[in-house]
Amino acid sequence: MDDHEQSYETGPIFDALDIDLVVKVLSHTAFSPFFTFFIPVFYYFQGARWPDSVIVLSAGFCAATSLFWFVKWYSRLFRNQGSLLFGPGPFDWGEQIVVITGGSSGIGELIANTLAVRNVTVVVLDVNPIVTENYNITYYKCDVSQWEEVEAISKQIVEELGHPTVLINNAGVVQGKLLLDLTPEDIQQTLSVNTLAHFWTLKAFLPEMIKNKTGHIINMSSVAGMVGMAKMIDYNASKAALISLHESLRYELDHQYNAPGVRTTLLIAGHILTPLFSTVRLSQSRLYKFFVPSLAPITIAKAVIAALDEQHSRVIYLPFYAHFVPYLWVMPSFIRDFAQWLSGCDYAMDDFVKVSGRRPEEGPVPEIRNDTKND
């Protein structure tokens, strides 16, 4: 292969082509009610009349497409006690106080800086300071895995800035070890940061939201919380617990606290190109990248901001394949195992090196071989 051919295959246009882009285009064309409505109309003006098969089939396809999108839309509307005629008022970004855990790097940092541009008061909770030039980002050193620290910092935030209206639980850590190689400190850190921290931040900031009957909680989970993977036992368990926490919280807010206006959004994402999983070994084949694309941090940031803007409780699956992961539980075992083999997830952590969230006793990040890095 010469240099010209190689540069073509790895060009930005070719790399951007994946199943998510195809689905997005189809949803706005071939599977759009607006687009499909004109198909039977076109045939009618070409001379076809009812009950000609071409009219019946195209009209049926239009009706089925319209029904699918109506049910999808009404399902979200029903869950959010919405009106069929009137949508929620515009989201007043300037009045929001947004707390982001783990906001000093990766996705959290990107969301913090993006919101700051919108004149939002942003509060970052992290053990490391955020490096930013945005004046409306306030950093508080806080280990969110410790209730005492979260409780103390939450009181300081209320005194200095006011009561937060949005909470984005973003902090996370992964060890990448086999079960018997995990130390008690490893397990404690994973469950404390990925799961218990959500309990602490909710206990600190949720009461005022319930009192005002408004607010928004966004929890960052993973497809790993719905499947099993080698060397991911502690991480997967922590994310599975988060999914269950989110669902239970939604019903408590609706039926026990009588505060359905406090919205909850759960983001279930696949592999994201952040330092947390920067040393994961994934297949480099074009077919794999097409159907199982990695996510850019900006994609997650856009989804979070859109969820806040829409003011709806919902579950967001990214990328497209994540929608089908929950159904693996009900598949025959040979199909389930085939999907596991096809993904290669049981070997993806073989060369993993922990980069983010290293404890002092773990020392500095060791040198990483170039062939284990994501391109």
Catalytic residue among 139, 140, 177, 235: 235
β-partners of residue 53 are none
DSSP letter string, 298-346: HHHHHHHHHHHHHT--EEEEESGGGGGGGGGGGS-HHHHHHHHHHHTTT
Tell me if residue 203 is catalytic: no
Cα distance between residue 353 and residue 351, in whole Å: 6
CA distances from 132 to 107, 116, 137, 139, 323 (A): 14, 10, 8, 10, 35
Type of residue found at 229: M
Cα distance between residue 111 and residue 99, in whole Å: 11
Tell me if residue 72 is catalytic: no
Q: What is the 3-state secondary structure (H, E, C) of 72-95?
A: HHHHHHHHCCCCCCCCCCCCCHHH
Cα distance between residue 281 and residue 288, in whole Å: 13
Read off the tokens for 100. Answer: 């982001």
CA distances from 146 to 30, 98, 155, 244 (A): 51, 20, 15, 21
∠ CA 156-200-206 to the nearest 5 degrees? 75
Strand positions, DSSP E, the chain: 97-101, 121-126, 137-141, 166-169, 215-222, 262-269, 314-318
Read off the tokens for 128. Answer: 């490391």
DSSP letter string, 98-130: EEEETTTSHHHHHHHHHHHHTT-EEEEEESS--
Cα distance between residue 348 and residue 281, in whole Å: 5
Cα distance between residue 219 and residue 349, in whole Å: 24
Read off the tokens for 233. Answer: 């036992």
Q: How many CB atoms lie within 10 A of CB 230?
A: 14
Catalytic residue among 139, 177, 231, 239: 239
What is the set of active-site residues?
A: 235, 239
